[in-house]
Amino acid sequence: MERNPMGRQLAIMRQSLFDQGYLDEQFIQLEELQDDANPNFVEEVVTLYYRDSARLILNIEQALERKPFDFNKLDDYMHQFKGSSSSIGAKKVKAESTLFREYCKSGNGEGCTRTFQQLKKEYATLRKKLEAYFQMARQAGPMETACRPK
Amino acid sequence: MNSSSGKGSMSTASSSAAWKAGDAVPEQFPAGLRVLVVDDDQTCLMILEKMLRTCLYEVTKCNRAEIALSMLRENKNGFDIVISDVHMPDMDGFKLLEHIGLEMDLPVIMMSADDGKHVVMKGVTHGACDYLIKPVRMEALKNIWQHVVRKWKDEWKDFEQSGSVEEGDRQQKQSEDADYSSSANEGNWKSSKKRKDDEDEAEERDDTSTLKKPRVVWSVELHQQFVAAVNQLGIDKAVPKKILELMNVPGLTRENVASHLQKYRLYLKRLSGVSQHQSNPNNSFISPEEAAFGPLSSLNGLDLQTLAATGQLPAQSLATLQAAGLGRSTAKSSIPMPLVDQRNIFSFENPKLRFGEGQQQHMNNNKQINLFHGIPTTMEPKQLASLHHTAQSIGNINMQVTSHGAQSFQNNSLLMPMAQPQSRGQVLNNSTVGHAPTLPSSMGQPILSNGVAVNVSPRNGIPENIRAPGYNPVSQTSSILNFPMNTASELPGNSFTLGSTPGISGLTSKGAFQEDVNSEMKGLGEFLSSYDTFNDLNQHKPQNWEIQYVGMTYDASQHSNSLQDNLDLMQSVLVQQGFSSGQVNGQNRSAAVVRKAMFSAGDSTEHVNAQNVNQHLNSLVENTIRVKSERVADASAANLFPNHFGQEDLMSALLKQEGILPAENEFDFDGYSMDDIQE
């Protein structure tokens, strides 16, 4: 991969996603599942995640507009969202989800709202970064599955 | 591989691909495990599916609990294990867990992003066999097969234990077999089988093996403790009470020990009988090869012993058979006895688990099948080939199983071997289970071939698929079986080996085979119904065979001679069926049995020779099937194998000798005289 400048760039990009805490080990699990039979597995999963979780984000948003907050419901939504996010290795998003649930459990509406805003930001940021990453990966060529950090 | 959420079918293709002849034994068993994964989260579902596929499991994904439940209900034997999320919109995961536990008694793994102690506890109390925290890693999924095996063991054990207490009225034979608890179990099995026909499987299961009932699982460690205690006391002086004291295992009852001791004694007898030929109890796989013949003889001997032990076979018959077998074992087929034994051990477990009550039925079926093997059939060479292949896989599987100690697999293997030796053509049947029709119809004992296969596949739950000539289920199982067979058995590529495998496949396909056979015998309504039952059982697990072995294999598992044990069991079963014990024998035996059967059947014994074994097996299988069809008409509905089913000469010989007539339509062939077998 190093022979390929694109490859190298891709590797750097990838590494920084980990270093900056956007992705965690679980993402590596996905990468390991990628093979010749499913050469774009990771991208497919991430795409599916964003599509599927959009629904949950919407539900939470709507629930946060109803006062008083139904913390149980909110917690429930977030639980699902968290599970989904953690399965693709979205580290920061997952952290925000956990925080949100804490606030739900303690009935802290303000905390929930605040956290949710933060969560959406992280959610959007990650999406952009991954989109760029996948695009680079496609350009870099098929051998561009970056080596995983040990 | 399985399609997503739509069906729970088992695609053989994917699984078959996973099983390749020659694969390391240990690798085979988990491969092809049929997993149903339920999660409303599409992302997780996709990831899990890919992970499970990478583990070589057969995956069906489902995002609705209700759909999953209906899939499970429609196809009771279609899955080996279920993985379910806790939080789902349409149904609580724990509720689904309860339903599955009650209705299908499948192992269920819960998963959730929630790792709170309280939730995990809930999983435990609701009966989940494991709890995974999301995000789930591949490593966590790799070993889920252990839960399947564990459950099989539990069921088997449970079955065995409760067998004696259930359906006492049905066990007329039991009185004859009073001396042998195993036979009692068998009787129970039979009864169970019958019951299964009538009742919901779950009910039966619940009767004898409710989920909540504590089970005694004779794990390797426990068995070792047992063996140590017995050795310390001296085999002659070892009485259950003392053994129990020495073992000092809380929760273990004297009855548990007693029944286990019985099996162990049988196992030892077999060993001594076999030792002359080959004595690698532990390397059964290897040795059989060398002593291709030996194993056979051993098998016969073993089986006979087993049979005798179980009261199914009079002691003298056993000796006779053994002698006959020995005399006959011309076939070098490297009966993978050891393999068989080992496999059988597991097979036992499997069938038990799967069938629960149904096991009894299976037993019957098995028996029939076994008989089938014995009957020389005119399997076509190609069938043989297929069986061969299957046997191979089965063999492998067996091997694997053995190595894992994951028993259920092994059982299957055993079956296979059995199938092989016996059915010249039959063996192939395993693989050809799919071809069920081709299986020796005359034998009507497709069991053998099927039996083998049956055991083979925990995966085989494919009985349904069996219908198709493509016999998917069988292939699945078969492949598994074949593997062990082939690999394990360094068996000299004897046809037996092949035969075994095929046989095994056949066995696995027990369900399949049966189905196939059934289809063949359309006319034989009764027969078919019995088959269906059988298939049903098979579906659960190919372990149908296992049931037979239950008693035997169990012991065997502990010892490398499991194969032999299995074979013995198989023989027992077969014998029960009315087939010459030779037929029944597991692989090793199978060969011998087959030979015998062949002889009995009038087939040329020469076929038995390794090379020809396969072919013969095929023919055997075919004959068996044929016989079956002929007989089926006679058979009572309940009996898969009519008493008078099977090779006439064999059966009558057996029956005459022993003067035992099946009390019921089911295979209550307790007293088959083996004398005739030796032709």
Gap between the Cα atoms of B252 and B516, Å rounded: 42
Residue in chain B nearest A46 by alpha carbon: B43
What integer best gives the mean pLDDT of chain B? 55
What residues does CATH 1.10.10.60 cover in chain B? 220-271
Residue in chain A nearest B49 by alpha carbon: A33
State ipTM. 0.92
- Identify any residues that bridge with B34 across adjacent strands, giving them in sequence order: B58
Residue B508 is encoded by which pair of tokens? Answer: 């696995």
Quickly list DSSP for B389-454: HHHHHHHHHHHHHHHHT-HHHHHHHHHHHHHHHH-HHHHHHHHHGGGGGGS-BEE--HIIIIIHHH
- pLDDT score for A96: 96
Task: Using an 8 Å CB-CB cutoff, list chain A residues near B51.
Answer: 29, 33
Domain assignment of residue A148, yes or no: no
Task: Using an 8 Å CB-CB cutoff, list chain A residues near B137.
Answer: 26, 29
Domain assignment of residue A32, yes or no: yes
Asked if A89 is an interface residue toward chain B (Cβ–Cβ < 8 A), one would say: yes
What residues does CATH 3.40.50.2300 cover in chain B? 34-157
Task: Using an 8 Å CB-CB cutoff, list chain A residues near B40.
Answer: 80
Domain assignment of residue A115, yes or no: yes
State whether residue B62 is helix, strand or coil: strand
- pLDDT score for A3: 61
- CATH number at B34-157: 3.40.50.2300
pLDDT band at B443 (very low <50, low <70, confident <90, very high): very low
- How is residue B59 annotated by DSSP? E
pLDDT band at B275 (very low <50, low <70, confident <90, very high): low
What's the domain range around A18? Answer: 5-140
| pLDDT 10s digits, B222-272 | 888 888 888 888 878 888 888 888 888 888 888 888 888 888 887 777 767
Residue in chain B nearest A79 by alpha carbon: B113
Cβ-Cβ contacts under 8 Å between A and B: the total is 61
Phi, psi (degrees; rounded to nearest 5) at A11: -65, -40
* B61-97 burial: b if 16+ Cβ within 10 Å, else e: bbbbbebbbebbeebbbbbbbbbbbbbbeebebbebb
Question: Residue A21 sits in a domain of what CATH number?
Answer: 1.20.120.160
Domain assignment of residue A125, yes or no: yes
Identity of the highest mean pLDDT range in B77-86, B170-179, B195-204, B430-439: B77-86
| pLDDT 10s digits, A111-133 | 999 999 999 999 999 999 999 99
pLDDT band at B487 (very low <50, low <70, confident <90, very high): very low
Is A83 within 8 Å of B134 when comparing Cβ atoms? yes
Domain assignment of residue A103, yes or no: yes
Is A88 within 8 Å of B114 when comparing Cβ atoms? no
Average pLDDT over residues B632-651: 44
Q: How many domains does chain A have?
A: 1
What is the pTM (predicted TM-score) of this model?
0.42
Residue B112 is encoded by which pair of tokens? Answer: 């959730």
Domain assignment of residue A92, yes or no: yes
Give yes or no for residue B77 having a pLDDT over 60: yes
Asked if B45 is an interface residue toward chain A (Cβ–Cβ < 8 A), one would say: no
Residue in chain A nearest B114 by alpha carbon: A79
Q: How far is CA B670 from the centre of its chain?
A: 19
Of B391, B399, B385, B396, nearest to B415 by C-alpha is: B391
- pLDDT score for B266: 76
Which of A30, A33, A81, A91 has the most B C-beta neighbours within 10 Å, making it the best mutation to test the interface with B?
A33
CATH of B220-271, one of 3.40.50.300, 1.10.10.60, 3.20.20.70, 1.10.600.10: 1.10.10.60
Domain assignment of residue A133, yes or no: yes
